[in-house]
Amino acid sequence: MEIDDFLSWLEVERRGSAHTVEAYGRDLRQFSDWLCADGSPFDAGSVTVSDVRAWMGALASEGLKAVTLRRKVQSVRAFYNWAMKTGRLERNPAADVTLPKKRRKLPEIIREKDMEEVLDAEPSGFRAQRAHLVLSMLYSLGLRQAELLGLDDDDIDLRAGELKVTGKRAKQRVLPVPPQLCDEIARWQEARDARFPDSPRPHPLLAGPHGRISKQALYETVRHALAGVPTGRRSPHTLRHTFATAMVGHGADLDAVREMLGHASLATTQIYTHLSISELMAGYSHAHPRAAKKKNED
């Protein structure tokens, strides 16, 4: 039987694990049994695209999840790819079948109201001041934790209201910094330099007694600062998601959001667009609540 030949090839030639071979075999036999419900023998060459789609529809009606449907169709695809490579068949009826989309788990975020209440509180003491700056930077700019930890004073131009970030694969981007955050950074730098006058140069923005604070220290800072906020996970990455959600929710262009995040995940269907710093500043000032806050207070 062709299915058995495929499974033998998968096990011997491709060195598939017993679990993998078993899963492929189970999917393929389920497909052949469904096609041959009338008792006729399985004829791989007579299978059409419509047959595969009809099978998917039958499985979906039984309540199977998208991830399971995808795996079953991929099993059929793999079988026919093998049959074509070995000269048994000339076409793959599953090749043009669109795979069901996986349901993406929505990221956890902090409600805008809760985030604003936390940031509106005046910090008291050095550690509280640093914690407030961490929250402000993460929520106002959508930085990754590694990007925030890697910032030096030389990366920040407070007069221009710009910040240079080095992201994944050493890619750099320039972000607009709203006036209120510029003021907070300046106050923090003054307090930090008074506390750690011997900090190495260029000065790490988030300096501790021994240089940059650690990833664990940053995580704990965020976790404690958000202790009273109702959310599942209190982490730097939660604030990155919160930033993006706030931007989109206030009408920012998705390409501008993607540029600020330095990541394509928010607009996978769009072509990556390079935006000038002035365009980023205009979009940010219009869309993000922290950028608008200073203007409303003036």
Q: Name the catalytic one among 173, 240, 241, 293.
A: 240
Q: Which residues contact 162 (CB under 8 A, 6 or more apart)?
A: 156, 174, 175, 176, 177, 277
Q: Name the catalytic one among 111, 237, 250, 294.
A: 237
User: Integer distance in angstroms from the first to the last C-alpha of the chain?
Assistant: 79
Q: Name the catalytic one among 19, 105, 159, 272.
A: 272
Q: What is the DSSP string of 132-151?
A: HHHHHHHHHH---HHHHHT-
80 is a catalytic site residue: no
Q: Which long-range contacts link 146-153 to residues 24+ away (Cβ below 8 Å)?
A: 146/215, 147/262, 148/205, 148/206, 148/218, 148/236, 149/206, 149/212, 149/213, 149/214, 149/215, 149/218, 150/212, 151/204, 151/205, 151/206, 152/202, 152/203, 152/204, 152/205, 153/189, 153/202, 153/203, 153/205
219 is a catalytic site residue: no
144 is a catalytic site residue: yes
168 is a catalytic site residue: yes
Instruction: Give residue 81's identity as a one-letter amino acid code.
Output: N
**Residues forming beta bridges with residue 162, ordered by sequence position:** 157, 176
Q: Name the catalytic one among 29, 88, 250, 263.
A: 263
Q: Name the catalytic one among 72, 132, 144, 203.
A: 144
237 is a catalytic site residue: yes
Looking at residue 176, the DSSP 8-state letter turns out to be: E
Pair of tokens at residue 287: 């869309």
72 is a catalytic site residue: no
Rounded to whole angstroms, the Cα distance separating 182 from 86 reads: 65
Q: Name the catalytic one among 168, 215, 224, 233.
A: 168
Active-site residue set: 144, 168, 237, 240, 263, 272
